[in-house]
Structure 1
Amino acid sequence: MSAESTPEPGIPGEAGTPDQAGGAGTRHRAKGRRRKPRGRNKGLLIAAWTAAGIVVLGGTGAGYVYFKLNGNIKSVDIDQALGTDRPTKVDNGSENILVLGSDTRSGDNKKLGGGTDDGSARSDTAMIIHVYEGHKKASVVSIPRDTLIDRPECTDAQGVTHDAATEVMFNSAYTTGGAACAVKTVESVTGVRMDHYLEVDFSGFQQLIDELGGVEVTTTKDIKDPDSHLNLKAGTHQLDGEQALALVRTRHGVGDGSDLGRIQLQQAFVKALVQQVKKVGLFTGGTKLYDLADTATKAVTTDSDLGSLNSLMSFANGLKSISPSDMTMVTMPVRYDPANPNRVLVQEKKAQQVWTALKNDQPIPKTATEGTATGEAAGVVTSS
């Protein structure tokens, strides 16, 4: 998903959807790197709100249920891997969460991600979720996987150090060194400290949508993509897990066929997903939601601070007041690479406006995304 939505009513002056493809500016590569597996789209990073399913425990007590769900959660010690050479942590009540979608080529993900069951993984969807002080509003910044950056040297969770690389694709960071290198790269590119990390894979995303009972979206145009097997007529649809996964992976069914266009679809879907979570009432508890909690805790990988059921429950509960109308969605300001139309370059000055706003817990200015590349898929999918 690329460019963005119009200013949300809750945050005056926030960025809207960029409406021009390309922008002037010097050719400067951002930091970090990535390579691009063609045809392998991303697993949608289910925004932090999907972790909300774990609150089903409510007051039902610990025992087997607690330990079962707690044992499902996988975590990575990001702080240990990255050490102290990181942006300063801002202590103003706001939080920054890096959410990734991964397409691990093993287990149930083999048939969904394609390729061989070699255990490899790619991260082709990345979003920084900034939760403002008071946890009533949020801004979401998507980072295109095709962005050429300078990837910093990083140490993965196993203690292996990986060399820096220049002018590589953003999503190469995850492929190279997993979660720790992905966080290191994002912090290097943005100068913003990531407080938390959440990752969701293909099969987990699909199962979560099914457990939620599907997600309702409205398409303003027909979407037909033989690669993702998505075929939707213009109108309102209740997407099941398979269809939702196809929607967030499609890039040839709408717009200009770029990753930027897909980002726009993903952002629209995230809003619809948050709306569905509200409708289902995950925060009200109830044992009937145990299956959802079981699926959610199996689907996510977190940083070690969120790596327990109690921590994840507390975190999710703190986001429950954020509705779709309280979210502003933008894409990191980029322009098409004149040397390769399949790659994009960071528009440094405009991007800096975004990162400065997040650091200061301020709305993202509209000027930050004006005149940036968009992917031409805005408004194709809306929450119903």
Structure 2
Amino acid sequence: MAGKSGGQHGARGTVARHGRLRVTTASGTLARGISGALAVLLVSALTFLAIVWWNLQSGVETFDLAVPANDENAAQGSGAVFEGGVNILLVGSDSREGQGAEFGEGEEAAAGTLNDVNMLFHLSEDHSHASLISIPRDTLVDTPQCQNDQGETQYERYGVMINSILDSGGMNCVVATVEEMSGLDIQYAAMVKFKGVIEMSNAVGGVDVCVEQPISDSYIGLELDAGMHSLQGADALKFLRTRHGVGDGSDLARITNQQVFMSALFRKVKSDQTFSDPGRMYAIARAATQNMTLSSNLNNIDTLVSLAGALSSVQLDKMAFVRLPVVEAAEAGRVVPDPDKAEVMWQMLRDDKSLFDAAQPTPAPEPQPGDEGTPPLQDQAEPDAGVVDPGADSSVDDGTGEVPPVDEETVTPQTPEFDGQTADKTTCSNGDTLF
């Protein structure tokens, strides 16, 4: 090598003595400098991306969906845009395994592993709106025959609490149950444990939540005064877990807290400060992948990035956080899906309709003079004359002493209101949050 190097130096010397020297110009030097800098930056960027990719992929826990739904809309290739709609099941597990002594590691051996949080995320076909449906943990459901995560057959059961399914059936049977009750195909699924919530809240630098009334929960050690709080780490997890400190102490009250937190988190992630901060975006991605168990088809950087891109296009007022409509069950402390409202909600999602927009009646346009078929304004009757309000008592006397029949075809069905909120609304824990 030394000899070869010396020969090269000799050759350069000969050229320098007998050939014409290239004239060095300021522009040429600048161009070569820029080219060299770009090359260094390119190599550095590729190296950084490789490191990021390895860090995000290494150690990720996955499971295979027993009957994966059609995910042909998934992005293919780097930079591809996710096309079409999608349904993703998000499960929050109370498993203490690997979570540390502060969370009572090992307790799950005695109590079992529960899926205490069950949320179905629906992104519309055109990416114009999205919904996150919270299913109360105490909901009694029927489970279809399914294969657990180890491929073992689990036979159908009736009237079981939804939060008990994970322990015996794994994520696959939770997915099958939600598919059965909703009539929706679920393409992807993910499970998050305690540390996932902690690391996610740390990654975004805290989540700002409003507390209307003081929260005091000695069971989990959460004390919050009324007002705004920036929650991260263990406090963020406690806020999501507290039941005894809010409302009537039920899981329904806790879901309201979760909606307050999730809407605030969505606003934070959508902010310019987050999307323009590569370090924070990487921290969020790492918090998600290193603290969640993903369906294997979701453990793909192209799919995750394209899904995030699709979600970023959803406006705050089009992102709905909704609780599954339920009614009290015969068994104390348990609930069942509302036979009317729940089916309306599932049908709206199957029809790819926005839960928020559909719940708000769209006013009819005011008739304008000169419109075809519209009489001049001076000839129109009073606004309330002879008009039957579909939401009012249909027994309207028309002045003749008789009740005219109501033409059912002219009555617009009323969409039920759903408990929840949209991400553009800053609501408070312990407050009323209705559409």
TM category, shorter: 0.7 to 0.9
The answer to whether residue 349 in structure 2 is matched with residue 358 in structure 1 is yes
What is the root-mean-square deviation in Å for CA atoms of aligned residues? Answer: 2.9
Greater RCO structure (CA 8 Å; 6+ sep) = 1
For 2:336, the aligned partner's letter is L
Pairing partner for 2:328 from 330, 336, 339: 336
SS of equivalent residue, structure 1 residue 257 = coil
SS of equivalent residue, structure 1 residue 319 = helix
For 1:77, the aligned partner's letter is D
Contact 2:64 2:295 in 1 (8 A): yes
Counterparts of 1:125-144 in structure 2, within 5 Å, are: 125-144=117-136
1:213 is displaced (CA, Å) by: 1.2
CA distance in 1, matches of 2:354, 2:346: 11
Counterparts of 1:220-239 in structure 2, within 5 Å, are: 220-239=212-231
The aligned counterpart of 2:338 is 347
Contact 1:221 1:233 in 2 (8 A): yes
Q: Relative to structure 1, is the Cα distance of residues 113 and 320 closer, same or farther in structure 2, using a 3 angstrom cutoff?
A: farther
Contact 2:263 2:321 in 1 (8 A): no
Counterparts of 1:120-269 in structure 2, within 5 Å, are: 121-269=113-261
Q: Relative to structure 1, is the Cα distance of residues 360 and 89 closer, same or farther in structure 2, using a 3 angstrom cutoff?
A: farther
CA distance in 1, matches of 2:148, 2:335: 26
Contact 1:215 1:239 in 2 (8 A): yes
Give TM-score scaled by structure 1 length.
Answer: 0.74
Counterparts of 1:108-127 in structure 2, within 5 Å, are: 108=99, 111-112=102-103, 116=107, 118=109, 121-127=113-119
Q: Relative to structure 1, is the Cα distance of residues 62 and 184 closer, same or farther in structure 2, using a 3 angstrom cutoff?
A: same
The aligned counterpart of 1:82 is 67
The answer to whether residue 84 in structure 2 is matched with residue 97 in structure 1 is no
Which has more strand, going by share of residues?
Answer: 1
Q: Relative to structure 1, is the Cα distance of residues 182 and 368 closer, same or farther in structure 2, using a 3 angstrom cutoff?
A: farther
Q: Relative to structure 1, is the Cα distance of residues 107 and 94 closer, same or farther in structure 2, using a 3 angstrom cutoff?
A: same
The aligned counterpart of 1:313 is 305
CA distance in 2, matches of 1:320, 1:371: 24
Which protein has the larger Cα radius of gyration, Structure 1 or Structure 2?
2
Higher mean C-alpha displacement, 274-283 vs 214-223:
274-283
The aligned counterpart of 1:64 is 51
CA distance in 1, matches of 2:418, 2:314: 29
Contact 2:189 2:294 in 1 (8 A): yes
The aligned counterpart of 1:25 is none
The aligned counterpart of 1:106 is 97
SS of equivalent residue, structure 1 residue 275 = helix
For 1:101, the aligned partner's letter is G
Higher mean C-alpha displacement, 239-248 vs 132-141:
132-141
- Per-residue CA shift, 1:143-173, capped at 9, x if unaligned? 1110111111210121111122111101122
CA distance in 2, matches of 1:319, 1:369: 26
Contact 2:123 2:130 in 1 (8 A): yes
For 1:198, the aligned partner's letter is A
1:72 is displaced (CA, Å) by: 3.6
1:284 is displaced (CA, Å) by: 3.3
The aligned counterpart of 1:73 is 60
CA distance in 1, matches of 2:227, 2:45: 37
SS of equivalent residue, structure 1 residue 82 = coil
CA distance in 2, matches of 1:58, 1:296: 23
Contact 2:203 2:280 in 1 (8 A): no
SS of equivalent residue, structure 2 residue 249 = coil
CA distance in 1, matches of 2:207, 2:143: 36
Structure 2 unmatched runs, 5+: 1-43, 74-82, 360-413, 421-426
SS of equivalent residue, structure 2 residue 340 = helix
1:348 is displaced (CA, Å) by: 1.7
Q: Relative to structure 1, is the Cα distance of residues 339 and 287 closer, same or farther in structure 2, using a 3 angstrom cutoff?
A: closer
Structure 1 unmatched runs, 5+: 1-56
Contact 1:217 1:381 in 2 (8 A): no
SS of equivalent residue, structure 2 residue 213 = coil
SS of equivalent residue, structure 2 residue 312 = coil
For 2:155, the aligned partner's letter is D
CA distance in 1, matches of 2:308, 2:211: 29
SS of equivalent residue, structure 2 residue 125 = coil
For 2:57, the aligned partner's letter is N
Q: Relative to structure 1, is the Cα distance of residues 238 and 307 closer, same or farther in structure 2, using a 3 angstrom cutoff?
A: same
SS of equivalent residue, structure 2 residue 58 = helix
For 2:52, the aligned partner's letter is V
The aligned counterpart of 2:387 is none
CA distance in 2, matches of 1:145, 1:109: 24
CA distance in 1, matches of 2:145, 2:219: 35
Q: Relative to structure 1, is the Cα distance of residues 381 and 136 closer, same or farther in structure 2, using a 3 angstrom cutoff?
A: farther
- Per-residue CA shift, 1:327-383, capped at 9, x if unaligned? 12221111012431x10011122211111111110123435654989xxxx84268x
Contact 1:135 1:322 in 2 (8 A): yes
For 1:252, the aligned partner's letter is H
CA distance in 2, matches of 1:65, 1:371: 41
SS of equivalent residue, structure 1 residue 221 = coil
SS of equivalent residue, structure 2 residue 352 = coil
CA distance in 2, matches of 1:228, 1:58: 44
Q: Relative to structure 1, is the Cα distance of residues 326 and 60 closer, same or farther in structure 2, using a 3 angstrom cutoff?
A: farther
SS of equivalent residue, structure 2 residue 192 = strand
1:288 is displaced (CA, Å) by: 5.8
Q: Relative to structure 1, is the Cα distance of residues 117 and 352 closer, same or farther in structure 2, using a 3 angstrom cutoff?
A: closer
CA distance in 2, matches of 1:343, 1:114: 28
